[in-house]
Every structure is written in C-alpha cells, then in structure tokens.
Amino acid sequence: MNTLGRRLIGAIPVLLGISFLIFLLMHIAPGDPVTLLLGDDATPADIERTRHEWGLDQPLIVQYYDFVNRAVRGDFGKSLKFNESVTKLIAERLPATLELAFASLCVAIMIAVPLGVYSAIKHDSLFDHAGMSIALIGVSLPNFWLGIMLIYFLGGQLNLLPVAGRIEYGVEVKTLTGLYLLDSLLTANFAAFWNVLQHLLMPAFTLGSALAAIVTRISRSSVLEVMRQDYVTTARAKGLSETNVIWRHILRNALITIVTILGLQLGALLSGSVITETVFSYPGIGDLLIQSISARDYKLTQVLILMFAITYFVVNLLIDLLYSWIDPRIKF
Amino acid sequence: MFSLRYLKVWVGGAILLLLCVCGVAAPLLAPRDPQAQTLEDRLRPPRWNENGSPAYFLGTDNLGRDMLSRIIYGSRISLIVGAATVIFAGLVGCTLGAIAGYFGRGADEVVSKISEIFLAFPFLLIAIAIMAFLGQGVGNLIMALMLSRWVQYCRVVRGEVLSLKQRDFITAAKALGGRDWYVLLRHVLPNTFASVTVIATFGMAIVIITEASLSFLGLGVPVHIPTWGSMLSEGRSYINRAPWLTIFPGLAIFITVFGINLLGDGLRDIFDPKLRRQR
Amino acid sequence: MRTLIDRRSFLKTSAALAVSAAAGRYVQRNAYGASLDRVTIYHTSVADSINPYNHSSSPIYGQWQHVMEPLVELDYKKQDYVGVLAESWQFQGNKWTFKLKKNIKFHNGAPLTSKDVAFSIEKMRDEKGGSLQASNFKDVTEVQTPDDLTVVFVTKQPLAIFLDRLENRFILSKVAGDKFGDKLYDNPIGTGPYKFVSYQRGGNMVFTRNDEYWGGKAAIKEIVFRKVTEDAARLAALESGQADFINNVPDHEVARLQKHPRIRIDKIEGLRMFFLAFNMAFKPWDNKLVRQAANYSIDAPAIVKNIFDGIGYPINGPVGANVVGADPKLKRYPYDPQKSKELLTKAGFPNGCDIQLYYSAGRYPKDREVCQVVSAQMVKGGFRVELISQEWALFWDKQGVNGGKLPFYYIGRGSLTDADTLYDQYFRTGTTKRTNYSNPDLDKLVEEQQKTADQKKRIAILQNAGKMIMEEAPFIPLYNLADIYGVARNLVWKMRPDEKVLGWDMSIK
C-alpha cells in the first residue's frame, strides 16, 4: 500500500511536467487556431480581434497559469474548434474508444496467446511455422491499409458489415455506461447489441491485428525461454505430467513478459486508434485528437494528451502490481 | 555451418543483403528515373498484363512513373529510416533500461519518470509535433520515430534485468566478487538479448509501417522522395482502377519485414547461450 | 447409393444456406435505392458544433439551411440575389432596408418578425458565444426594426456588396431564444422546410420534414447526414446501399461507378478556383516578365486531362466563367515553354531560375500529383523547382500564406461566386498579405465596384480589373474542379455549384 501511495504522489510532478511540455510544444509549433477557424474570408484585423476575444494574445505563462488554475478546479476550458466544453467533448467520446480498445484487446488476446503458446510447445512444427507466418502478415500490414481493404471488400463489395460509425441511425441504446455493447446487454436490447457489434467488428480487427501479431510472437518466445529454464527441467524430471508442467510452470512464468508487452502496447493501441478511428469515422477520442491537433485546438489537445498520460500511468501501475502477484520474487 | 538451424539466418540475411544492394545501387539497377513523369503512360498495368508495356515491368503509377524504379529507390529510405531508428532507439533504450533495472533505486526512479513521460505521448503525436515544428524530412522522421521507440527497449530490458537479478547465476557471479558493471555486461545483458532481438526485429517492421501511417496522415518524408509507405498510402484510392499501385509496395514491405524477422529469429537461436548449451 | 447422394447434396445445400444466413447482407432495407422515408447522406464535412453560427463553411451552411433560412440567397442561374425570407430590399446611402415576407411561421408556431432578424444578428455577432460569422457585420453600425416586417441595416459607409454578406446568415426564432436562453442552440427553431431532430458530434445530424412549411412540403421525410472523410468508406457505403448519397467521389472512380446498376454520378462545376499565387515581396516574382514566363510554362488543360481524368474546367482569364465579373473575351496564357524561356532570358535569367513551390499535401484533391506535374512543366519552361509541402496549420498561418511568408504556392479559393472576393483578398493593397501585390489603379477599380449598386455597371468594372490582372499576372489561374456526387439511381435532386446538399430539392423517381 505504501508503494502504491508513493507512486501515486510521484505521478503528480510527471503529469505537471507533461502538461507544461505539451503546452509549450503546442504554442511553439507553428499554426494558429484562429487563422485556421476563420478560413478564406478572414482579414488580419478579424484574426487579431478574435485572438484577443479568446485571450490568445496573452503571454504564454499567463495562459498556462490560467489553464492550470482552472484545471485544478475541474474547469478545462472550451474547445475553439468545437465550441464546446472540453470535458463534455471527451466525455461523449471516451466510451467509444474504450469500447474499441477493449474489443481490439480481446481480439488480439483470443487469437494470439493460444497461437503463440501452442506454437512454442510444438516448436519447429508445421503449425509453428504457419502460425508465425500469419503473425508476420499481421505486422506487415499498415493498419490504415488493412482498414481500407476491409471496408472495400467486406463493406462495399460483399455488403456484410457497416463501414462507418458506431451504431445505425434509428437503433436506440439507453445510455448507462456509454459502452453500447454493455448498455444494450444490460437493457436486454439484443437488436442494438448485434448492430453495435457489427459496427465494431472491422475497426476492432483492424486495430487488434498488429497487436495480435506482436503478442503471438512474444508469447511464443517467452514460453520457449521459460521451457529452457532449469526449474522446468527439474519439474519434468520430478515426473510431473506435461499438462501440469505447461500450466503450472511454463505459462505462469511466461505471463510476465506477455503482460509487460500488453501494457507497453497500450500506447500503440491508443496511437493506432487515431488512425483506425479516422478510417472508420468512428467517433472516439483518437479521431478527436487528430482533429484538434490539426486545428491547433490548444486546450482540447492538452487535456486529451494528459488523459492519455493518466490512462497509461494507471495501466502500468496495475501491471507492476500484477507482476508481483504473478512472480512474488519481484519487489519494488 | 549450413545446418537447418542456420537456414533462417542465411535466407533472412540474403533478403536483407539484397535490399541493401538495391538501396545502394539504386541508380544502376533502376531502369528509369523514379521521378520522370510520362503522363500519356499513366496507370499502365504491369508488363504481363494484356495492356502492359514492355517499357514498364511493374507498370506505372498515376503520374506515369515507373513502379519498378520507384520501388527500388524506395528501399533506400525504408532501410535507412528502419535501421537508424532501431539502432539509435535500441542503444538509448537498452542502456537506460539496464541501468534502471540493475541498479534500481534512484537510477530506476529517474529513468522510469523519463520513460513515463515519453510513453504518455502516443507516438503519432510526437511525430506530428516534430514534423510540424521542424518540417518534413528524413532526419526529422528518424528523430520522431526514435523518440517514440526507445522506451520499448528500456521497459523490456528493465523488466528482464529485474527478473534476472534474482536468479542464482547472477547472485553467484556477484558472490564470486564480480563488479557490478562486469556482472551487468557479462552476465545480465547477454541474457536479455533474446527479447531485445525480438523487439528490434519487430521494431524495424513497425518503423517501416509507421512511416506509411505518417504518409497516410500527410506527414512523413517530402513527396519527391519515393518511399514504400507513401506509395502505399497514395495508391490506396486507386484500389479499383489500378491495384498494382498498392500490391507492389505492399509486397515490398512484406518481404522486407519477413526477411528481417527471419534473420532475427535465426540470430536468437544462434546467440542465445542457454539454447547452445541445451542442444 | 442414390439416397446417399441425395443426402450429400441436401447437406451441402443446407450448409450453404446456413453460411449465407449467418453472413447476412448488412443492408436489406433499401437494396434497390433510396426511399421517400429517409435519405442517408455520407458527407466529408458535417457541422462540428451544435451552434449553427460556429463555422463558415458552405456544406455546413447547407445543412443548417434545412432548419433555418436567410433573408436573401444567390441564384446561380440569374447571377443575382433573390429573396428567401425577404420580400424586397432597397439600398440608399448607408442604409439597407428589407421588407420581410408575410405569414411565415417558425417551427414553434411564432410568426416571423423583424425582431427575430435583429435577435439572430446579435447572436451572429456574439464571438464570445462561439460565432464565427461576426465579421460579416463589421461595417454595420445599427440594426433597426421600425415595424414588424421591416429591418434596416445602417452601415459605416455605403456598402453595395452587403447582400453577399447576408447570404447564409440564417434567422432563428427570438421566442425560442427567450424561452431556452443558454440552451437555445440545443433547440434550433427556424422557418425552414425541415425541423431539427438530433445532432451527435461525429455521429448523425438528423432533420425531419416540416409539414407546414410556407414554401410547400418537401418530398423526403427524413434526412440523415453523417461525416465520413475516408474516400473508400464513402464509396463502399454507396455501393452497398448503406448511404443513398455521397459527395467527393474520386474522379478516377467515375468511369467504374457509372456502370453500376444502382448508382448515378452527378457532376457540376464547383465554386472552388485553384491557382498558383506569387508573392511580390519575393524575388524573382517582383518581376512581371518572370510572372508571365511562369504563366506560359503551365499547361492547365493537360493537368485537368491527365490528373483529373478530364473532369475539370480550365480557367480562361482571372476567374471561372460562372463567376460574377468574368469576361468571356479573356483567354488564359497559352502553354508555350519556349516563350517562357525567352521571357526568362529577357528578365535576366538566361540560365534558368530557382524557385520554391509550397503546398499543403492532402488539403485539395490530388494536390501532390498536381504540384509534381506543375514542377515538371515549369522545369521545361526554364525554372528549377523545389517542392515543399507544409501541414495546413502551418501553410495557412501567419508564418505561411496569411503572413505573406510563402513566395509561390498552390491554393484553392472556395465559394468564389464574385470576382470581387478574389480581387479584394488577393490583389488589393493591404487587405491581406497573401500576395503583397500593390497596384493603385487596381485598388481604385476594386473600391469603385464595391460602391456600385447597379450589377451591370459593377460587372463592367470587374471586367476591367480582370484585364489588368491578366496583363500584370500576379498569379497563375488554373482550373475549377467538378463537385462529383454519387447518388442512388432513383434519387432525383437539383445540383448546386456551392457544395450544399438540400433535402427539399430531392425526390424519388
């Protein structure tokens, strides 16, 4: 518990550091939100007036102080591009991304871990080589391209799945958690569940495929690694059954590496969501981030990235805790 | 030397070598100038197709440029960007990760803080910021990708070292009076080699693909430099009309990634000391 | 033996049936085209905010226009303004007086009055509240409402082009405003042919028919807009019937889709004019001969033919033929690389001339290809071109086009219906820094036409200005592109050049 508290307190300076860095980076990087918003017709005088109106002509440090001062009180300001409070914008989109990320993770784990572990156990067999080749294809495809191909074939040519969005207009889900799959199950609305699932399949597969490939490889190699350890040989020598050896000794130890990689891949998953959501017009925060960066929407970008940072921090904290649970020898 | 165990290394190495040759000798190998536009010959299918022209073996793109030449030239950037990123990111990441994992305490604290900051940025954001600030270019691309990749090595090496530190042979080495640095270099690091190789090979593949994704978002290298990634992302809208615009760069990426992985796999089998002992 | 075969074929058939049932088609509802009940539109640009004044983009004007209407609108055929909510208007001195139509009712039943106009304009001027349309009223000092059906705009000086600024300024109900207060924009109440149903950012924007519309009932009951920016996704949606209508069909897909049994392709010359602009603050563009040489070196028809599959309209003269103020007698500089080289030699560049061409990759259709062809053509004309792509935020910013920092760039000016817009913003001294072009004679003409109320006289002045601009060559006019729409075959609609997609102009065949 002590460790946990220390880590939580230790996170505060990191988050402040990140927020200042982003703030600086965004303001140093060229591009002005007002010029972008006002478009073709704006004259320099219009632009100056609007900048003043929104307080963008204030010195940087004043703007930053203002931001932190408000943020501490829970007010993250207003997005210039969307003309809406940042909190509301994120709140309405976060569940979508969580749902997508979770679905992708499921896709990846369900494909990858069994494939990787089995490949390792059947080391150098035909199955092993075939499995690894599939994994290779998975990482060799840029996910925007995979997404577009899926849209083209499954959506356009075969007309099997919807190509854009989260849910069909006219299908209603009562919002409880914002995760449509969960909400529709809780309200026993199976038609909506099916519709949401159909919308989720292609994006989740697109986002999950690269992850699946990586996890397959890592599971395989870490299982192989563990299989060569002395304690496995010992376990076998003791006459334990093969199943027992695999489950009790090999898998448990191999899990450490697999879990690390999953934690590390969270960043990749969030980055990937930027592209996947753009391709599938999926209304999540990845899509929001790209739009806000290209509009130079300072406040929104700032808060979004901080949110990525916090998510990441929390997940990795959980992973470290998991570590010591899986392998009690590791201490902090 | 030529046993099946080395086959992977030979095949993977051969593919990589071939690519290096392509990259270095591109001006000699490419039948045409990759920039030369022949608008009358735009969107010609590959040679073996009925409308193909013998002048363009893999057909032409939407500006009538020779696909074969562009793919040959494209290997340059892919290889340079891939290799440079992996080397720089690997050096920085492994060093910091090993120090953090082995010495723990203060060193670990500092390295973990830094890596946390970097991990908190989705790599695309780092790339976008750097590209927006410095402008497009190969150097900036390498910088952006390196900054987003080193943390991977750092975290995994740290995790492995943490775990290795507890193992008997390290304790023994220390008990025998080995100095920290010696133990770290001689006993700990070699044991992380397997994981690092796996990450590095995949890292290179990811870098090549990330380059393509950046092109998709309109960043990446300047348009006049042909890269597989930009060819793929520009060709995607022609999937109906001219599928060869995406098939060949896609194949090039696939073969390269395949070769790199094969090599990595084979190397791990050879270098892994425990494996050698066992077999 | 016989029974066995039968059982086998039975098993095969049922397996096939099971597979096709499991992998059912996604769209069944309207597999044969659009229906009167609902038209689903996948568009590249849909409102980002529920505040209808928080943008200044033509397609989004079109979306809000379902619910709310302007006082006047440009009729593209007549090339003149026609009243929508306004019955008539009068321009005298620094006053514009509008008479509103009688018996128009808002969706909440309240009658349209001049108070609603004054209220809406106040909202449009409220920049703090998120309006991005305030600059249209920067010359207006007062809005008077002498009676229920009369609105008077008092301007700083006589403002002949005020109708242009009033286009797309939509009127909301003041009664609703008083009732909903801060929540006004969540309940947009206008006079339009459709009523607002719902809006989700990044999701659907939905309108339903207003059966009591003063201008006659629309045919389609429900209109759904959804923002889909990826070309492949819009195309797939159209081909599978998930969408009935899409915009921005890539031109290289046109030939294939025209053969599609359920799809029609509609093309119309767009209002966005593409050109290459010089910045006179940079050498060598301060030299007229070099600018003319560059004009001779570019073959715009070849670009249209080869890059855009011939679906485009090369411009003769400084603006496209449909723009108010165009001069049918003007011709573009012919393609003549030899002449270009001669002019360069005359200008003091016998060995060619180094230039940089800026553009923002991905902003406009096929901009990468266009700029690469442009640079290849200019090389033949004696220039040495370096191509530089910048992210839009940077390109358009004060370090870029609007700060006058780019010497030579590829750009498109959207919604260009009147030559005045282009001449004022790009070539009049001091309006913007986009070209840093300064010519007192041209300034005088631009100023004069802005004060002229008589459209015919104004066009004559604009044509004079056009002639001057062609000779001076402060830019290289290229082409207008087509707006290409993919539409379900049984859907009939009135095409417009301004990128607006209007539900009440649609019906089912």
Per-residue pLDDT tens over the stretch C62-99:
999 999 999 999 888 888 899 999 999 999 889 999 99
What's chain C's average pLDDT? 90
Instruction: Give the pLDDT confidence score for residue C427 in this predicted structure.
Output: 95
C-alpha–C-alpha distance, residues B268 and B198, integer Å = 8
Distances (CA, A) of A179 to A263, A271, A276, C97: 22, 20, 18, 54
Q: What is the pLDDT of residue C73?
A: 93
Q: What is the pTM of this model?
A: 0.84
Tell me the ipTM for this assembly: 0.84
| Amino acid code (one letter) for A79 | S
The answer for residues whose C-beta is within 8 angstroms of residue C420's C-beta and 6 or more apart is C161, C164, C324, C325, C446, C449, C450, C462
- Nearest CB to A41; choose among C56, C233, C399: C56
Q: Flag whether pLDDT at C260 surpasses 70.
A: yes
Q: Is residue C259 within 8 Å of residue C56, measured between CB atoms?
A: no
Q: How far apart are CA A133 and CA A220, in angstroms?
A: 13
The whole-number pLDDT of residue C152 equals 96
> Does B121 score more than 70 pLDDT?
no
Cβ-nearest to C306 among B39, B132, B223: B39
Mean pLDDT of B203-229: 78
pLDDT band at B261 (very low <50, low <70, confident <90, very high): confident
Is residue A126 scored above 90 in pLDDT? no
Percentages of chain C per state (helix, strand, coil), in multiples of 5: 35, 25, 40
- Give the model's confidence band at C4: pLDDT under 50 very low, under 70 low, under 90 confident, else very high: very low
Q: What is the mean pLDDT of chain B?
A: 81
Torsion, Cα B87 B88 B91 B92, to 10 degrees, reads -160
Cα–Cα distances (Å) from C336 to B4, B243, C293, C294, in that order, read 65, 36, 9, 10
Q: What is the pLDDT of residue B161?
A: 87
**Above 90 in pLDDT, residue C343?**
yes
Q: How far is CA C222 from the centre of its chain?
A: 24
Asked whether the beta carbons of residue C253 and residue B63 sit closer than 8 angstroms, the reply is no
- Single-letter amino acid, residue A116: G
Which pLDDT value is given to residue A311? 79
State how far the Cα of B261 lies from the Cα of C324, in Å rounded to an integer. 62
Beta bridge partners of C144: C152
Q: What angle do CA A204, A209, A210 make, to 5 degrees?
A: 125
In angstroms, rounded to a whole number, what is the distance separating the alpha carbons of residues B147 and A267? Answer: 13
Distance of alpha carbon C302 from the chain centroid: 24
* Per-residue b or e along B102-138, where b marks 16 or more CB atoms closer than 10 Å to that residue's CB: bebeeebeebbebbbbbbbbbbbbbbbbbbbeeebeb
Closest-CA distance, C361 to chain B, in angstroms, reads 6
For the ranges A166-180, B261-275, C122-136, C366-380, which has the lowest average pLDDT?
B261-275
Rounded distance, CA C251 to CA C311, Å? 7
**In the predicted structure, residue C303 carries a pLDDT above the cut 90:** yes
Rounded to whole angstroms, the Cα distance separating C39 from C32 reads 13
State phi, psi for B3 to the nearest 5 degrees: -70, 175
Q: From CA C310, how far away is CA C301, in angstroms rounded?
A: 8
* Mean pLDDT value of segment A96-103: 91
Which A residues in the span 165-184 are in contact with B, Cβ-Cβ below 8 Å?
Answer: none
pLDDT in the model for residue C225: 96
Distance CA(A68)–CA(A37), nearest Å, equals: 25
Question: What is the maximum alpha-carbon separation in chain C?
Answer: 101
User: Comparing B54 with C341, which gets the higher pLDDT?
Assistant: C341
Give the CA distances from residue A140 to residues B146, B252, C337, in Å, rounded to whole numbers and listed in that order. 19, 10, 45
The answer to whether residue C328 neighbours chain A at the CB level (below 8 Å) is no
Distance from CA of residue C136 to its chain's centroid? 17
Mean pLDDT computed over A61-89: 87
pLDDT band at B278 (very low <50, low <70, confident <90, very high): very low
The C-alpha of C330 sits at a distance from chain A's nearest C-alpha, in angstroms, of: 26
What percent of chain B is predicted at pLDDT more than 70? 86
Instruction: Please compute, for residue C246, the number of CA atoms within 13 A of its CA located in the half-sphere on the CB side.
Output: 29
* Contact status of A305 with chain B (Cβ, < 8 Å): yes
How confident is the model over C168-213, as pLDDT tens digits?
999 999 999 999 998 999 999 999 999 999 998 888 999 999 999 9
Q: What is chain A's mean pLDDT, rounded?
A: 83
d(CA C145, CA C141): 14
Q: What are the DSSP E strand ranges found in A139-220?
A: none
Mean pLDDT of B152-165: 86
Q: Considering only CB atoms, which chain C residues are within 8 Å of B244?
A: none
pLDDT band at C2 (very low <50, low <70, confident <90, very high): very low
pLDDT at C25 over 60: yes
Q: Which of B52, B54, B33 is nearest to B44 (CA)?
A: B52
- Within 10 angstroms of residue B263's Cβ, the number of other Cβ atoms is 23
Lowest mean pLDDT across B205-214, C10-19, C283-292, C316-325: C10-19
Q: What pLDDT does residue A177 have?
A: 86
**In the structure encoding, which two tokens stand for residue C343, read together?**
């002019």
The torsion angles phi and psi of C208, rounded to 5 degrees, stand at: -125, 150
pLDDT > 90: percent of chain A: 13
Whole-angstrom distance, CA of residue A269 vs CA of residue A286: 10
Q: Is the pLDDT of residue C110 over 50?
A: yes
- Residue C195, phi then psi, degrees to nearest 5: -105, 150
Note the pLDDT tens digit of each residue in A211-223. 888 888 888 888 8
Closest partner residue to A270 (CB to CB) among B122, B159, B233 is B122
Question: In this structure, are residues C116 and C178 in contact, taking their beta carbons and an 8 Å threshold?
Answer: no
Distance, in Å, from the CA atom of A134 to the CA atom of A130, rounded to the nearest integer, reads 6
Predicted confidence (pLDDT) per residue in C30-56, tens digit: 455 788 999 999 999 999 899 999 988
* d(C-alpha A274, C-alpha A252), whole Å: 34
Instruction: Determine the Cα–Cα distance for residues C61 and C167; give it in Å rounded to an integer.
Output: 10
- In contact, C265 and C249? CB cutoff 8 Å: yes
Residue with tokens 């500006």: B63
Per-residue pLDDT band at A146 (split at 50, 70, 90)? confident
Q: Tell me the pLDDT tens digit for each residue of B39-97.
A: 778 888 998 888 888 889 999 988 888 999 999 999 888 888 888 998 999 999 999 99
Sorted by sequence, the CB contacts under 8 Å of residue C343 that are 6+ apart come out as C289, C290, C292, C293, C296
Query: Which helix (H) or strand (E) segment is C225 a member of?
Result: strand C222-227
Sheet of C150-155, strands arranged across: C86-92, C95-100, C150-155, C140-147
Please give the pLDDT value at position C347. 95
Interface contact A291, partner B, CB < 8 A: no
pLDDT confidence tier of residue A231, bands split at 50, 70 and 90:
confident
Asked if pLDDT for residue C22 goes beyond 60, the answer is no
Window 28-87 of A, Cβ < 8 Å to B: 28-31
A123: left (phi over 0), alpha (psi -120 to 50) or beta: beta
pLDDT more than 70, % of chain A: 96
Q: What is the helix, strand, coil percentage profile of chain A, to 5? A: 75, 0, 20
Q: Residue A328: closest CA among chain B residues belongs to which residue?
A: B163
Interface of B with A in 85-104 (CB under 8 A): none
Q: How far apart are CA B199 and CA A218, in angstroms?
A: 9
Q: Is C242 on the interface with A (CB under 8 A)?
A: yes
Q: What angle do CA C35, C37, C42 make, to 5 degrees?
A: 70
**Structure-token pair, residue C225:** 């807009």
Share of chain C above pLDDT 90, in %: 70
Judged against a pLDDT cut of 90, whether residue A145 lies above it is answered with no
Average pLDDT over residues A251-267: 75
Instruction: Give the total residue count for chain C.
Output: 509
- pLDDT, average across residues A35-60: 80
Q: Which of B187-191, C103-107, C291-295 has the lowest mean pLDDT?
A: B187-191
The per-residue pLDDT for C3 is: 44
Q: Which residues of B touch C356 (CB under 8 A)?
A: none
Residue C5 pLDDT level (bands cut at 50, 70, 90): very low
The beta-carbon neighbor of C394 closest among B39, B132, B240 is B132
Least confident of B107-111, C389-393, C400-404: C389-393
